[in-house]
């Protein structure tokens, strides 16, 4: 039974572009995988704590030597990593905030990028341990950051997500970029017209599959 892990990080609820498009991906995935399981994690309502010294000390202590307090410090990280390990595929709805990813998503990444669990230097070179997974990122931004645009150099979302997911072993990645969402806020385009090409590109992925 294939499993999809669906992660959203926009604080904007029903007004969110990335949430609406990640939901479109999930709906298509369910149709393509009628026996599949979808696990949903909403980071905007999660109360993840930033990692601290105790967390780092625990993560770098050998598992068998960890104290009960150290094990407790890693409990949330363990649970989030277990979700990544159990899923075959991931879809993440990502709003661009200040040219990067939202802080709640960064907190989550800090908790799941963990030595000996999702990456390893044991062989001398870094090795990602999440093998055989694929990820789709649905990114919404107010501006347009296409490769050919003058603003492309300000897009720290896609290069960062490619780097950090690649680091933990997830190299099969796709991006659906819904740039120009500011036009929605200014009433220059209606929501359906704005979303339609992105909805089509999600549907096309499933037709091609």
Ligand X SMILES: Cc1cc2nc3c(=O)[nH]c(=O)nc-3n(C[C@H](O)[C@H](O)[C@H](O)COP(=O)(O)O)c2cc1C
By C-alpha distance, which of 34, 68, 14 is closest to 191?
14
CB of residue 20 to ligand X, shortest distance in Å = 8
Q: What minimum distance in Å lies between the beta carbon of 162 and ligand X? A: 18
- Least distance to ligand X from the beta carbon of 193, Å? 15
**Smallest gap from residue 10 Cβ to ligand X (A):** 3
The dihedrals phi and psi of 115, each to the nearest 5 degrees, come to: -60, 135
Is 4 or 139 the residue whose CB approaches ligand X more closely? 139
Write the DSSP assignment of 44-71 as a string of letters: TT--PPPP-HHHHHHHTS-GGG--HHHH
> Angle of helix 103-112 relative to helix 75-86, nearest 10 degrees?
90
Contact 191, 185 (CB under 8 A): no
Nearer to ligand X, 5 or 140 (CB): 140
Reduced to 3 states, what is the DSSP secondary structure of residue 111?
helix
User: Which is closer to ligand X, CB of 18 or CB of 77?
Assistant: 18
Write down the least CB distance from residue 107 to ligand X, Å: 15
Least distance to ligand X, CB of residue 16, Å:
4
Distance, in Å, from the CA atom of 13 to the CA atom of 11, rounded to the nearest integer, reads: 6
Backbone angles phi, psi at 66, to 5 degrees: -70, 140
Nearer to ligand X, 100 or 128 (CB): 100
Interface residues with ligand X (CB under 6 A)?
Answer: 10, 12, 16-19, 95-99, 140-143, 181
Instruction: Name which of 97 and 117 has its Cβ closer to ligand X.
Output: 97
| CB nearer ligand X, residue 169 or residue 179 | 179
In 3D space, the residue among 111, 132, 186, 137 whose CA is nearest the CA of residue 22 turns out to be 137
Beta pairing, strands 127-128 & 119-120: antiparallel
């Amino acid at each position: 039974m294939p499993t999809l892990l669906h992660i959203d990080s926009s604080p904007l609820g029903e007004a969110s572009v990335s949430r609406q498009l990640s939901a479109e991906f999930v709906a298509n995935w369910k149709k393509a995988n009628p026996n599949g399981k979808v696990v949903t994690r909403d980071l905007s309502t999660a109360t993840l704590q930033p990692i601290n010294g105790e967390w780092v000390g625990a993560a770098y202590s050998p598992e068998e030597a960890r104290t009960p307090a150290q094990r407790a410090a890693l409990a949330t990280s363990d649970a989030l990593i277990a979700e990544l390990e159990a899923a075959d595929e991931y879809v993440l709805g990502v709003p661009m905030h200040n040219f990067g990813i939202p802080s709640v998503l960064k907190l989550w990444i800090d908790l799941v990028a963990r030595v000996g669990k999702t990456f390893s230097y044991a062989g001398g070179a870094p090795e990602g341990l999440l093998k055989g997974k694929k990820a789709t990122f649905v990114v919404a931004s107010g501006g347009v950051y296409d490769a050919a645009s003058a603003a492309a150099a300000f897009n720290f979302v896609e290069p960062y997500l490619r780097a950090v997911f690649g680091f933990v072993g997830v190299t099969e990645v796709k991006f659906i970029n819904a740039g120009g969402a500011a036009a929605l806020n200014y009433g220059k385009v209606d929501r359906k017209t704005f979303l339609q090409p992105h909805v089509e590109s999600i549907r096309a992925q499933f037709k091609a599959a």
